[in-house]
Chain A
Amino acid sequence: MRGIRGGLIVLGTVGMAYGAWLLLSRQDLGQIAEVVVWLAAAVVIHDGILAPAVLALGWLGGRLLPWAVARGAVTVLVLLGPTVLVAIPVLGRFGAKPDNPTLLDRDYTQGLLAYALLCVCAGVAVALGELRSPQRTVEEE
């Protein structure tokens, strides 16, 4: 165990050092600075905006929603939330090029709404399942 852990730490450190060297040696200073800004911004956006927003949702949901509905709401949040984030580049069509019809060639709003509907159905099913088996909840608690 000790040997494996030591080996992983050495290998990981070498990997990080090699990656850092690649990053610093292949681009100019302005580009490197922008990568650093992105690295910092990623943490700030996740830990400072996204995570607190989800915490707030959880806090509110825990107080306002009945148990079964909260269960459905968590289902919808976990299934739909990440997908909405993933959909941002295509919903905004930011990479679209006027001379390239093979890129971003769907109605993404419609697609996302259809998926959202499926997620809500799953959430309702989970909430109804909860209502029908009250003895399980008691058992879990």
Chain B
Amino acid sequence: MRIPSEDSFTSRLRSAAVAARVGLWLGVCFVVALATGLISHYAQNDQQPVPLPTSPSWLYQVTQGLHVVAGTAAIPLLLVKLWVVFPKLFQPVPRRAREALPTALERGSIAVLVSTSLVQLTTGLLNVAQWYPWGFGFRATHYALAFVAVGALLVHIAVKLPIIRDALTGNVDDTAHDRPNARRQGPVSRRGVLILAGTSALATAFLYTAGTVPGVGRIAALSPRSRKHGIPINRTAHSAGVVAEASSSAYRLELVHGATSRAISRQDLVAMEQRTSTLPIACVEGWTRRASGEAYACAICSTWSAPRRGGTCGSGRSRPSAPPPTPCSRRTSPTTTAP
């Protein structure tokens, strides 16, 4: 089979005017996912030099919902974007060293951008469905590659900025930056491709991430989570191997504030003034539920002036001497999972 050249691709849909628009939406998704991902990463650190705001309690819910929505919506957009720019893969490399070096650097940065974007979106997608077919740590890798992907994206934008500006300020049917032979009419118009890509992104994001949203959760047909079984569980006490420890009479909730610490038993907790509160429990994997419960912790919080906050998965201020069976203990990599 003959290897195609850039000129083998003749559709007028493969145009900078389409690439720039889909790329803009994709860029927005990446920035939203980076910002909200950094919040989650920070929230899960043991030490937070500047504490995250505790109010409004739905802040984490919103940011982490946005994280998975942006990431999932980016999948159809990235696939369409890569289809549009696919001929670039067959661009010839300039012969002269003076031209070849910048070209090689630019195309190297595109290779980094494409591969890290594909891996970021895939690993994030699989994490939501708790499928970990790899041996590396998800959290560490997803965090590191985020900087590589967004860094490569900035370089890409810098290189293409004049074309992006022309394309976005011009009409979608402009051919100023098209290859001369990319003139063949496709079955849909450029506007049609943009509408389809946007619809596909929104539909996919809804189907995959809206499972725990009241009202519409039932029709989010591909969500790994639903509202059927109460609060979603990431890892059961049984699979974490903490049933005996957590239900033991030796269990102590240990509160540490600066140099002082206090250990509180279950009996101590039950003896405190009981209050019921409803707080959003949200996870970076995108699901969220409002949960109410007997909250003796509030009594502790008021005496210790520790911040009250909505629950986040895998992060906690208190350090129990044995981990309680939290409904949302986050799994970072398969190697850290107790049998």
Contacts and interface: CB of A to CB of B under 8 A. Distances in A.
B297 interface: no
Interface in B132-176: 132-137, 140-141, 143-159, 161-162
Interface in B42-94: 72, 75-76, 79-80, 82-83, 86, 89
Chain A interface helix/strand/loop/mixed: helix
Contacts of A90: 129, 222-224
Nearest to A61: B187
B193 A78 contact: yes
Chain B interface helix/strand/loop/mixed: helix
A62 to B, nearest CB: 8
Chain B interface extent, by class: 35 or more
Contacts of A6: 158
B228 A105 contact: yes
B134 A38 contact: yes
Interface string A104-135: 11101011101100000000000000000000
A1 B80 CA distance: 28
B270 to A, nearest CB: 27
B225 interface: yes
A95 B130 contact: yes
Nearest to A54: B83
Interface in B181-214: 185-189, 192-193, 196-197, 199-201, 203-204, 207-208, 211
Nearest to A91: B222
B262 interface: no
Which 6 A-B pairs give the minimum distances between C-beta atoms?
A111-B221, A15-B151, A19-B147, A12-B154, A95-B130, A19-B148
Given A15-B148, A42-B119, A102-B229, 7 more contacts: A1-B162, A5-B158, A7-B158, A39-B115, A39-B119, A111-B207, A115-B203
